[in-house]
Amino acid sequence: MAIDRKEEGVAVTMDVKSNVVAANIENMGKGARIDKRLEKSRAETWVAKLNIKTPGVQQVVNNLSGGNQQKVVVAKWLERDSKILLMAEPTRGIDVGSKAEIYRIAEECCQKGAGVLIVSSELPEIMAISDRIVVMKDGRVAGEFRTEDTNPTELMHIVTS
């Protein structure tokens, strides 16, 4: 998932349905034909599962709130059924409720056996949702910790030293 959802994560001028199935389009029909009913059904499934607040899957993504746009990005990659999910700043600029939804989704992915890698500059967020933390500095690993064995002070020391 992209850091800037509007530039890299979603096509804001397209509808929810098209965005949700974009990464999995090859499974939406046979050959060059897209099964419109399947496409709509898959999008509606993710709208319900992720509690995306939209009047319908034909809604243009740009008309959704930031949190709901972010959930559309998540839906796109969950539809792909990836075994590894990389989330770069997934909660930047979204409301508290949507943040909780993103955390819940990440946890569900882990429970189903997927690997979830979250890149975040928000230390409290990382401490709350991670079981392992890798601190990067100047493009290199500066430290690796089990969350239960570290604290914010220790992590900040690594970042600032």
The CATH homologous superfamily for domain 5-130 is P-loop containing nucleotide triphosphate hydrolases (3.40.50.300)
Closest CA to 39 of 62, 60, 20: 20
Is the pLDDT assigned to residue 1 strictly greater than 60?
no
What pLDDT does 44 receive? 97
Grade residue 101 by pLDDT with cuts at 50, 70 and 90. confident
What does DSSP assign to residue 60? B
Q: Are 16 and 102 contacting, i.e. CB atoms less than 8 angstroms apart? A: no
C-alpha 95/C-alpha 65 separation (Å) is 9
Q: What is the full DSSP assignment across 95-132?
A: -HHHHHHHHHHHHHHHHTT-EEEEE-S-HHHHHHH-SE
Q: Is 29 helix (H, G, I), strand (E, B) or coil?
A: coil
Percent of the chain with pLDDT over 70: 95
Domain ranges of the chain: 5-130
Q: Are 71 and 98 contacting, i.e. CB atoms less than 8 angstroms apart? A: yes
What pLDDT does 89 receive? 85
Which amino acid, 81?
A: D
